[in-house]
Every structure is written in C-alpha cells, then in structure tokens.
Amino acid sequence: MTDKSVARKMLEIELKVRVNSLDPIRQNLENRHAEFRGKQHEHDIYYNAPHRDFGSTDEALRVRYTDSHALVTYKGKKLREYGLKAREELNTAVESGEVFEQILARLGFTKTAEVNKWRENYRLGNTSFALDLVDGLGTFVEIEIIAQNDDADATNQIQRYAKEMGICGEPILASYLELIQSTR
C-alpha cells in the first residue's frame, strides 16, 4: 500500500508594523469580538548551524520558551512573491528546551541572539493577531495567516484587516532577530 497524499507546505504569511501604542488595536480587536488567546512572555534563543550561515541563507532556527512550554522552530527563506513577509515554518514542541539546546551545542550549533517579548494573542477566524512589546525595539502588531502552499487570498485578507483596524505604517519584512542584530 502506498501513501498517495501530498505533503503540503505550510507558509507563515504576516504583516508586521511598528506602532506607537497597542491600546487602539487592542480596543478594535475587542470591539470585533476577537477571541483573546492569552498573554505570555516569549524568550527566543536563535542558533546558527556549523555547516552553513543562516544569516546568509535567510533561514532561522530558534528555541522558544514560554510560561508553559518550549518550542523549536525552523523558518525557511523569505518568499517575496506574497508582498508581505512569508516563509515556510516548521514547529515542534520539545519536552525540555534546555536538553534540546545541549544537543544543538554538541552538534556544533552556536547561539547568535536572544529576543524577549511580551505578546498578547487574538484570533478572528483563520487570522492571528499578536500585540508585541519587544525588549530594545518597542511595540509592534503582527497579523498572520498560516496558509497551505500558495493561498493568494491570505495577503488580501491581512491587508484588509490592517486597513479596517487602522494599523498603518511601513510593513517590516525583517524578523525581530534581524531588527535586534541591526541595533548592535
């Protein structure tokens, strides 16, 4: 018996904008009855591989610690055809982030940076909203859809929500890691 299912690439498509205050966006989300999914501290530790430079290949590998768990994430090269920040994202929870970090160290991976942020999560339908306060950077809003393969409607939906909620400003295509590194 052969498995004829086709693996579908999951893409994270997002709009990230720096904002002066999170209060009006929070109020707009509450007025629209967005589902509040909690507030948490996220401590992200980024790694570089011994066999290639993720800064050059536009990839990322991170271990994220939250109040309740550890998550390992691989992010692929940014895809420019969506007009917003889009990239493949693979996530998996790990029982112990500390043990996973020891494994990475034993394999020759090196820590490159740490990012601390406090994030409020909201959801409207298939769209996630993150209200972020990032150490050393300030306040940001991210509107994100996880799309399968090339969901062309995701970009339009994100831009529509941004306009409706008064989220304006230049889209930031850089990750928080890249923004932190650019301040050094």
Q: What CATH number was assigned to the domain covering residues 11-182? A: 2.40.320.10
Q: Which region among 54-58, 105-109, 128-132, 154-158 has the lowest average model confidence (pLDDT)?
A: 154-158
Give percent of the chain with pLDDT exceeding 90. Answer: 66
The predicted structure's pLDDT at residue 86: 82
**How much is the pTM?**
0.84
Q: What residue spans of the chain are helical by DSSP H?
A: 23-31, 54-57, 97-106, 153-164, 176-182
Q: Which residues contact 176 (CB under 8 A, 6 or more apart)?
A: 44, 115, 117, 132, 134, 137
State the catalytic residue, choosing from 46, 47, 161, 176. Answer: 46
Is pLDDT above 80 for 159?
yes
Instruction: Work out the mean pLDDT of the chain and round it to a whole number.
Output: 89
Cα(147)–Cα(153) distance, integer angstroms: 9
Query: Active site includes 82?
Result: no
Burial pattern 81-115, b for ≥16 Cβ within 10 A else e, equals ebebbbbebeeeebeebeebbeebeeeebeebbeb
Q: Read off the pLDDT of each residue in 148-159 and give the average, rounded to a whole number.
A: 77
Beta-carbon contacts of 20 under 8 Å, excluding residues fewer than 6 positions away, are: 139
H-helix or E-strand spanning residue 110: strand 110-124
The size of the chain, in residues, is: 184
Indicate the domain borders of the chain: 11-182
> In this structure, what token pair is assigned to residue 104?
């990475």
CB-based burial of residue 17 (10 Å sphere; 0-12 exposed, 13-18 middle, 19+ buried)?
middle
Residue bearing the bigger pLDDT, 73 or 5: 73
pLDDT at 83: 66
pLDDT tens digits, 35-93: 999 999 999 999 999 999 999 999 999 999 998 899 999 999 988 666 677 888 899 99
CB 12, CB 91: distance < 8 Å? no
179 within 8 A of 17, measured Cβ to Cβ: no
